[in-house]
Amino acid sequence: MGRLFGTDGVRGVANADLTAELALGLSVAAAHVLAVAGSVEGHRPTAVVGRDPRASGEFLEAAVVAGLASAGVDVLRVGVLPTPAVAYLTGALGADLGVMLSASHNAMPDNGIKFLARGGHKLADELEERIEAVYEQHRTGEPWDRPTGAGVGRVTDYDEGFEKYVAHLVGVLPNRIDGLKIVLDEAHGAASKVSPEAFTRAGAEVVTIGAAPDGLNINAGCGSTHLEQLKAAVVAHGADFGIAHDGDADRCLAVDGSGEEVDGDQILAVLALALREAGTLRGNTVVGTVMSNLGFKLAMEREGVELVQTGVGDRYVLESMKEHGYALGGEQSGHVIVLDHATTGDGTLTGLLLAARVAATGRSLAELAGVMERLPQVLINVPDVDKTRVHTSKDLASAVTEAERELGATGRVLLRPSGTEPLVRVMVEAADIEQARGVAERLADAVKSALG
């Protein structure tokens, strides 16, 4: 059996790859690893369970809740809330584990299960491997140790989760954002109610788009992976700027007042300088990934801020931050982690902090984001190839070497398998966009040829 867990939980097409049976079995296994096995005598373990609005989340939530309760775990069902809300509530309520049902930015037919440890933290690889091992052991025949009578878990709807999370978001802001007009694109996702409420309470005049989830329209032509509607809305409404989330709202991208994109690297640059000014940028360091734009690295060097780069994936950013005590990290895609206020990327919090910086400085988002110049970067996703051979193919290695020779010191090449989809991502950076595009297209063809 191949490894179930990818870079962000277990994902697949709901009811095909990710079935109710798998969701139930994994939840029982997670209960044994994260809750029951570690509980003290007399302690009733508790789990917080949330989901995004996908239609498949309804039956998958039922399966997860059934699995946890059957393993003796009391369940607090918080309903449709962002991933960072489930993480926050897992910690704030002292729960033994959290479970979020979402496939984040993926299309509606997909779904995913993300387990969180005590405190609302993402699982280390070792814990995921243990959950898989326990699941596989019982899938192949060994019976579960099942509680009976009063030992089974009880299920409660925790409706207070929404208010508790919104109050947390507004409460951690360094200043109010009165006077700002902001367009919010909620991707018809998990933050469709939370985000507008938080921004409004913080003082902004809010215009919402993509905030009418029906279970089928999540991420469909909107949100952080499709900024066209947000760009148009910001200009049409004469807004100061716009914020876009993905389906589970752990990401935040922005659009300035003229409709230009402000990506995760630029947001990190703005927040790094804000935290440094406040004296909370620990180690005078920000954590990025190998996908961070070269322009971000140069800007941080110029501003005297250290940049630590990790592998791609917010979990690796988070691991580095926790290991060294850093306060800020994130990805170009808009996963931004502010560790003093969140245990994971939080798109609503990121947007609020960005708005707070605009309000505090009186400068436009475009002016603030201008601290860095984005070097041209071309990303091509190559589907339907054997992504497991991306680092072992000699033909591909030769093509990369040739591309790097052509770019010289003014650019770079990165090939990596997607952690959540059957893709190989080809990224090329260069001082000239046409050169970057030409090199990227040749490398994409080389990937198809070598791995197809």
- Per the structure, the count of domains in the chain is 3
What are the pLDDT digits (tens) for 327-369? 999 999 999 999 999 999 999 999 999 999 999 999 999 999 9
Considering only 54-58, 108-112, 308-312, 410-414, which range has the smallest mean pLDDT? 410-414
3-state secondary structure of 71: coil
CATH code of residue 17: 3.40.120.10
pLDDT at 1 over 60: no
Helices (H), 281-363: 294-303, 314-324, 347-361
Which H/E stretch holds residue 260?
none
Query: Which whole number is the average pLDDT over 69-92?
Result: 97
Asked if residue 5 belongs to a domain, the reply is no
Burial of residue 136, with CB atoms counted within 10 A of its CB: 0-12 exposed, 13-18 middle, 19 or more buried: middle
Annotated binding-site positions: 104, 246, 248, 250
Marked catalytic residue, from 27, 56, 102, 104: 104
Assess whether 181 and 315 both reside in one domain. yes
Asked whether the beta carbons of 311 and 320 are under 8 A apart, the reply is no
pLDDT in tens, 374-390: 888 899 999 988 888 88
409 falls within a domain: yes
The pLDDT of residue 325 is above 70: yes
| pLDDT at residue number 377 | 86
In the prediction, which pLDDT does 36 show? 64
User: What single string gives the DSSP state of each residue in 401-439?
Assistant: HHHHHHHGGG-EEEEEE-SSSSEEEEEEE-SSHHHHHHH
3 part of a folded domain: no
Residue 263 is predicted with a pLDDT of 96
Our answer to whether residue 104 is catalytic in this structure is yes
pLDDT of residue 39: 53
- What is the band of 167 on the pLDDT scale with cuts at 50, 70, 90? very high
Q: What is the pLDDT of residue 449?
A: 87
**Residues 63 and 211 occupy one common structural domain:** no
pLDDT number for residue 38: 46
pLDDT at 86 over 80: yes
**What is the chain's mean pLDDT, rounded?**
93
Query: Between residues 123 and 357, which one has the greater pLDDT?
Result: 357
- One domain for residues 184 and 323: yes
In which band, very low, low, confident or very high, does the pLDDT at 40 lie, cut at 50, 70 and 90?
Answer: low
- Give the pLDDT confidence of 417-437 residue by residue, as tens digits: 887 777 899 999 988 899 999
CATH code of the domain containing 443: 3.30.310.50
Q: What is the pTM of this model?
A: 0.89
Residue 27 is assigned to a structural domain of this protein:
yes
| CB within 8 Å of 271: residues ≥ 6 apart | 328, 336, 338, 350, 353, 354, 357
State the residue range of the domain holding 254. Answer: 164-369
Annotated binding site for Mg(2+): 104, 246, 248, 250
